[in-house]
Chains A and B, each alone.
Chain A
Amino acid sequence: MMGSQISITKFQLLMVLIQTQIGIGLLSLPNVVQESARGDGWISILFAGVVIQFLLIIYLKLLKKFPNDMLTDITKKLLGKHLGTIVNTTIYFYFIFTGSTLTILMIKILNEQLLPLTPGWVVSFLIIASCVYLTVSNLRVIARFFVLATFWILVLICITVLSIWLPKEIQFILPVGSAGGKNILLGSNNALLAMLGFEALLFLFPFVIGNTKGMLKTVSYANLFVTSFYTFITFLCLVTFSPEQLHQIREPVLFLFRGLTYRMVDRLDLIFLSIWIIPMTTSIIMYLFLASKCLAGKKKSYKNAVIINGIILFCLSFIPNTDKITDTLTQYVSFLSYTIVIFLPCLLLLLSRLVKKRRSGGFV
């Protein structure tokens, strides 16, 4: 009905980006960055934040040239119809695969920590059904929900503060920089994967009210928040667990809470995980939304696209979630993500410059 008028405010964009970025990746992040960057894992994350900042600037430069278009429209405009369609299909697959990887990882973690015997399809059905329920409505409603969900993250931060009472050993991260530049970079590479989600900007940009000014500030705040939140949590894990121990633990963030005990409640990790379900789901919602936007384009079949994508996600979640398969899946996704998230926008920006120059040359 109001398809074309749907818009979100900058504040909502901020929250949407934060919610999309923060998700399942955090739980295992300290382990992942520590693998290569050792005690300097937190620097890796900061560095990844800087890289993302650069990428965001590139995105904005590109998007400002096409303030009313989503990425899929831009590719078509710049690459031509056929090539554009091929690229858009890749983008679509990227979103679907990322979404399904997130779902599989989420099911896996829930199976490991909360519900070991419940069949995966029940969990995935419930998650995807609730995702579809929200996504079939419009972006504005999604944004509203994400804003609320961000309050949850604040609650989580408060819970995180409790873990400060665990014994800490600053020596574990000393001396700063001992891992060496190369390892820190490798760590950033891993961290970047956990921080994916900022590419949603490429699709959300045209829907933002007043997207000509002040966008950089908004997306920078989002990036700042996510980076500092991730760095904070990773730092906590790095000083709480010894390097060898961290190397063994699959989800160090949950172990932060497992050691805590109170008179009223034990096993804070279960409660943390139950609350964390919401940020995990919001990431899936956003990828479902992006995939559906990709599939539907500017046509009005958006609702059907969401349902179709939901079914696809559900089917993909039947892939058995053994360590081996999830690892390969993550690898493929990371490969795809580098193409879509880094390579493609840079290429498009270059192309748009060239096209503009040629055109202006032509006019002269």
Chain B
Amino acid sequence: MEEQLTQELQNNFRKILKYFSYTEDLATKEMIFDNKNCTILFLDSMVNKEQLQTFVIAPILEAETGEIDKVVEATEVQAVSSISEIGSKLMEGCCVILIEGREVAWTVSVAETTSRSIETPANERSIKSAHDGFVESIGTNLLLIRRRVKTPQLKVQSYTLGRQSNTKVNLVYLANLANSEMVEEIKRRVSSIDVDQLLSSGEIEEFIEDNPYSPFPQMLHTERPDRAVSYLTEGKVLLLVDGDPRVLIMPITFFAFYQASDDYNSRWMVGTFFRCIRFLSYIISICLPAIYIAIVSYHSEVLPIGILYSVRVSLENVPFHPFIEAFTMQIVLELLKEASIRLPTPIAQTIGIVGGVVIGTAVVEASFVSNTMVVIIGLTAISSFVAPVNEMGTSARLLGFPVMVAAAVLGFFGIAIVLMVIVMHLCKLETFGMPYFSPLAPLKEKDLKDTLIRMPAWKMVTRPSDSLPAYKKQQWRTRGWKKS
């Protein structure tokens, strides 16, 4: 079926040209080797000319005769015979050497590797942890991971997805640790993808996640190699997509979204304190506006006089229902955020000032929104940005809306019911067969040491069991000196 090379050079050349739709960046270099016509084909844009010259063309011209794979001085020389294979090699940045009278062509890897240098990821900053970040090149990313776990057990499974884009996707896991059933399931799901183009890890996440209708992110994106590796050693699977600096980690639990690398590099009490603050922030960002709405429009009895009077005063002359107030303020906030996020920094700052100061105070002075509501929304917004992973903060803000609606319709009862449903949903969620809300539901006391609190590092003798690693123990001797 597949078109094979023939002995005729010109014929082969035409076939390849046709395969590439007569593209004009397919360059050729004619030469004589072994007294035969010889053509070197390469995609002009994809190869490093210098390498091509020194490792391929120069040796061939010098040797004049011999076996190609011995003559060429590159690391990767391969003989291929089908047109499609040649095509894919060319697209990877290899050059192809065709020789008159041979049914085989040699591909030599001389790819141009232009990639961004390794920098600190902008959206996952840290103070006390490593400052390197993943980049767009999958090779570099693998390098960053391999450098951190130098074990023969690190297995890379490679896929090429996307009919048009032919994106390289790598599944990375520790063969002796990751749960094999789960790995098989992930492989099954990844290999079942058949699309035209696959450009980012976000798409692949949506293709393989269990519960697309859930507001909770079920995979963790990270640009931090240290973070990725720490999950790798918990027996989780990484998914790298070429051209995307964000690495997907799966299966993940709810609590992973509230862990930050810095926690482990601070003293454990400090780490624990920050964890608690973060969970508090999550609760605040979901509930606070709702509780305020419920109190103001239903249960003002719960406020003692002092607070009640000041709230009452701030509400005077505000013509809107507190729900409308909260809703519009949240929308305004999202608008400000969206507006400033993609603008160059100086303009974004201006918008921040205009939005925060001008709108914030003017809206109160025009008594469209009450003072207390501005305080509440401000607090909510800040809390939702506390989450170390942006997605979770956003999803918390999003979840705030149904809770607000329920509070506006049914007061405390509505809040209780919606929160209960959210917790039920969390209990129901499973990703790749692993419970999402572990270690709280199901309760695993031993795993609690690294969720709401961060126990001292030497207490973490066992790794979290939420992804059912093949063996649990991860520390053998930590403070052994103490016993002697």
Contacts and interface: CB of A to CB of B under 8 A. Distances in A.
B423 interface: yes
Given A114-B413, A274-B415, A144 B420 contact: no
A262 B306 CA distance: 11
B441 A277 contact: no
A332 interface: no
B442 interface: yes
Nearest to B304: A266
B149 interface: no
B302 A267 contact: yes
Interface string B302-325: 111011000000000000000000
Contacts of B411: 114-115
B437 interface: yes
Given A144-B442, A147-B442, A148-B427, A265 B302 contact: yes
B413 A266 contact: no
Contacts of A271: 302, 412
B353 interface: no
A147 B444 CA distance: 11
Interface in B316-364: none
Contacts of A140: 442
B301 interface: yes
B416 interface: yes
A127 B417 contact: yes
Interface stretch (A65-73, A130-138, A314-322): A130-138
Contact of B304 (A118, A143, A147, A264): A264
Contacts of B443: 11-12, 144, 147-148
B297 to A, nearest CB: 12
B390 to A, nearest CB: 26
A23 to B, nearest CB: 14
A144 B441 contact: yes
Contacts of B307: 264
Contacts of A270: 299, 301-302, 412
Interface in A266-298: 266-267, 270-271, 273-275, 277-278, 281
A263 B306 CA distance: 8
Nearest to A261: B304
Nearest to A11: B443
Q: What does DSSP make chain B's interface, helix, strand, loop or mixed?
A: helix
Interface string B396-411: 0000000000000011
Nearest to A277: B416
B459 interface: no
B413 A265 contact: no
B413 to A, nearest CB: 5
A284 B218 CA distance: 30
Given A144-B435, A144-B442, A147-B442, A278 B412 contact: no
Contact of B303 (A12, A123, A265): A265
B187 interface: no
B410 A265 contact: no
Contacts of B440: 148
Interface string B98-119: 0000000000000000000000
Contact of B437 (A122, A144, A264): A144
Contacts of A273: 412
A147 B427 CA distance: 10
B424 interface: yes
A130 B301 contact: no
Interface string A107-131: 0001000110010001100110010
Interface string B124-147: 000000000000000000000000
A62 B425 CA distance: 36
Nearest to B413: A114
Contacts of A144: 427, 435, 437, 441-443
Interface string A11-29: 1100000000000000000
Contacts of B415: 274
Contact of B302 (A12, A143, A147, A266): A266
B16 to A, nearest CB: 50
The winner among A144, A262, A264, A275 for most chain B CB atoms within 10 A is A144
A155 interface: no
A156 B308 CA distance: 25
A85 to B, nearest CB: 33
Contact of A145 (B302, B304, B441): B441
Contacts of A115: 410-411, 413
B428 interface: yes
Contact of B416 (A134, A143, A261, A275): A275
B428 A137 contact: yes
A130 B302 contact: no
A127 B418 CA distance: 10
A130 B413 contact: no
A294 B410 CA distance: 34
Interface in A226-249: none
B427 A145 contact: yes
Contacts of B428: 134, 137, 141
Interface in A127-174: 127, 130, 133-134, 137, 140-141, 143-145, 147-148
Interface string B62-96: 00000000000000000000000000000000000
B417 A130 contact: yes
Nearest to A143: B442
Contacts of B421: 130, 133
B416 A141 contact: no
A12 B410 contact: no
Contacts of A143: 442
B303 A130 contact: no
Contacts of A262: 304
Contact of A141 (B302, B303, B412, B427): B427
A122 B304 CA distance: 30
Contact of B420 (A123, A147, A266, A277): A277
A133 B424 contact: yes
A240 to B, nearest CB: 21
Contacts of A137: 428
A147 B413 contact: no
B299 A278 contact: no
A123 B413 contact: yes
Contact of B413 (A9, A261, A263, A274): A274
Nearest to B305: A266
B332 to A, nearest CB: 29
A209 to B, nearest CB: 12
Contacts of A148: 423, 427, 440-441, 443
B191 to A, nearest CB: 21
A262 B442 CA distance: 36
Interface in B187-242: none
B420 A278 contact: yes
B424 A118 contact: no
Contacts of B417: 126-127, 130, 277
B27 to A, nearest CB: 56
A345 B415 CA distance: 41
Contacts of B304: 261-266
B412 A281 contact: no
A127 B424 CA distance: 13
A122 B413 CA distance: 11
15 contacts: A12-B443, A114-B412, A114-B413, A126-B414, A134-B424, A140-B442, A143-B442, A147-B442, A262-B304, A270-B302, A273-B412, A274-B415, A274-B416, A277-B417, A281-B420
Q: Which 3 A-B pairs have the closest CB atoms?
A: A144-B441, A274-B412, A277-B416
Interface of B: 299, 301-304, 306-307, 410-417, 420-421, 423-425, 427-428, 435, 437, 440-443
